[in-house]
Amino acid sequence: MSTMRAAVVRRFGEPIVIEEWPIPVPGKGEVLVKVAASGVCHTDLHAADGDWPIRPSLPLVPGHEGIGHVCAIGPGVADLREGDLVGVPWLHDACGACEWCLRGWETLCKRQHNTGYGVHGTHADYVIARAAFAGRIPATDDLAALAPVLCAGVTTYKGLIETGARPGEWVVISGVGGLGHVGVQYARAMGFRPIGLDTDADKRALALACGAEAAVDAAATDAVDQIVAITGGGAHGVLVTAASLPAFRTAIGVVRRGGTVALVGLPPGDMPLPIFDVVLKRITVRGSIVGTRADLEEALGFAARGLVKPRVTTFPLDEANAVFKQLRAGTVDGRAVLVP
């Protein structure tokens, strides 16, 4: 039997194990993808540590930013062929029949499955994908740079849409790390005027390099005043990618009257909501979860035209534990990508 290498979570909170697994066989509606690049996301850490309310079943292969070529096709797949380049995103599939799926909100489907969490993911030589949910990847010579668009890209793109900001208006990207530096680029490409907000000087420099008009130290006592002054009254939209309660409090301070704060970061604990500010200033606070297939296609389109390019560092699959360690320490420059 043919085998593949896979980065496997055997026990929560323990190091990943590189194992030999049988290469899976695609079933009805599925394709087998030979992975060429697999981006590493903070969600992979949450899966490996089992620290979300609903834990994945173990053993588990994490990863949901995979790009590769279709190498086998299951029954009932008519729109993909062997050799096609596809992306394997967080949304493995959804039921297609519930009220949310029918309204175009498949990411809210209660019966969805998630790659690298509910089903085995992309940190392996091969992965199974649902053909209907695999992203169609434009031709590119840099698969590693495109891999993070499958999560970081579509997540920030959708989050910016959720702010309701219009071209020419100000948006603040709070947290300029693996998600935020991509968000700055999408904001610029979408016609917004982005401002980076981060406590780290290197990440503020990264925000400027990615097209931010300004970058403000989130730890500064006058951070809110600075942004209000730059924007002439506050940002029209704020995208919070930082997994930080202080970042949320700052976001409420920098958004202008009638503006929207979109949350994609997931910090531990509950966020206190300053109800008087929210009511009196008509502020909208909204959660935003990844993106639909249509959102993914649009996000990939920006990247295909060269308007968005995540900063990536590649590592062999065998170094998955080292990458996870860097991610926990916050020392990854942009996004890390495993290359089997």
Residues 328 and 247 in one domain: no
Based on C-alpha coordinates, what's the Rg of the chain? 20
Residues 177 and 77 in one domain: no
Amino acid residing at 60: L
Residues 246 and 311 in one domain: no
With helix as H, strand as E and coil as C, how does the chain read? CCEEEEEEECCCCCCCEEEEEECCCCCCCEEEEEEEEEEECHHHHHHHHCCCCCCCCCCECCCCCEEEEEEEECCCCCCCCCCCEEEECCEEECCCCCHHHHCCCHHHCCCCEEECCCECCCCECEEEEEHHHCEECCCCCCHHHHHHHHCHHHHHHHHHHHCCCCCCCEEEEECCCCCHHHHHHHHHHCCCEEEEEECCHHHHHHHHHCCCCEEEECCCCCHHHHHHHHHCCCEEEEEECCCCHHHHHHHHHHEEEEEEEEECCCCCCCCCCCHHHHHHCCCEEEECCCCCHHHHHHHHHHHHCCCCCCCEEEEEHHHHHHHHHHHHHCCCCCEEEEEC
Round to whole Å and give the CA distance between 80 and 335: 29
Residues 181 and 226 in one domain: yes
Domain extent, residue 39, equals: 3-150+291-339
pLDDT, residue 1, reads 54
Residues 143 and 177 in one domain: no
Give Cβ neighbours of residue 3 (< 8 Å, ≥ 6 apart): 20, 21, 22, 23
Total domains present in the chain: 2
pLDDT digits (tens, 9 = 90+) for 283-330: 999 999 999 999 999 999 999 999 999 999 999 999 999 999 999 988
Residue 30 is part of a domain; what is its CATH number? 3.90.180.10
Q: Is the pLDDT of residue 268 over 80?
A: no
pLDDT above 90: percentage of residues in the chain: 91
Assign 107 a pLDDT band (cuts: 50, 70, 90): very high
pLDDT, residue 5, reads 98
Residues 146 and 158 in one domain: no
Q: Is the pLDDT of residue 238 over 80?
A: yes
pLDDT, residue 272, reads 82
pLDDT digits (tens, 9 = 90+) for 165-216: 999 999 999 999 999 999 999 999 999 999 999 999 999 999 999 999 999 9
Residues 195 and 248 in one domain: yes
Residue 165 is part of a domain; what is its CATH number? 3.40.50.720
pLDDT, residue 209, reads 97
Q: What order of strands is seen across the sheet that includes strand 235-240?
A: 214-217, 193-198, 170-174, 235-240, 255-263, 284-287
| Cβ–Cβ < 8 Å for 17, 123 | no
Residues 164 and 136 in one domain: no
| Cβ–Cβ < 8 Å for 17, 320 | no
Between 265 and 216, residue with greater pLDDT: 216
Residues 175 and 119 in one domain: no
Query: Which residue in 56, 329, 50, 22 sits closest to 200, CA to CA?
Result: 329
Residues 300 and 274 in one domain: no
For the chain, give the mean pLDDT. 95
Residues 203 and 160 in one domain: yes
pLDDT digits (tens, 9 = 90+) for 43-88: 999 999 998 889 999 999 999 999 999 999 999 999 999 999 999 9
Q: Is the pLDDT of residue 266 over 90?
A: no
Assign 138 a pLDDT band (cuts: 50, 70, 90): confident
Residues 261 and 322 in one domain: no
Q: How many CB atoms lie within 10 A of CB 247?
A: 22
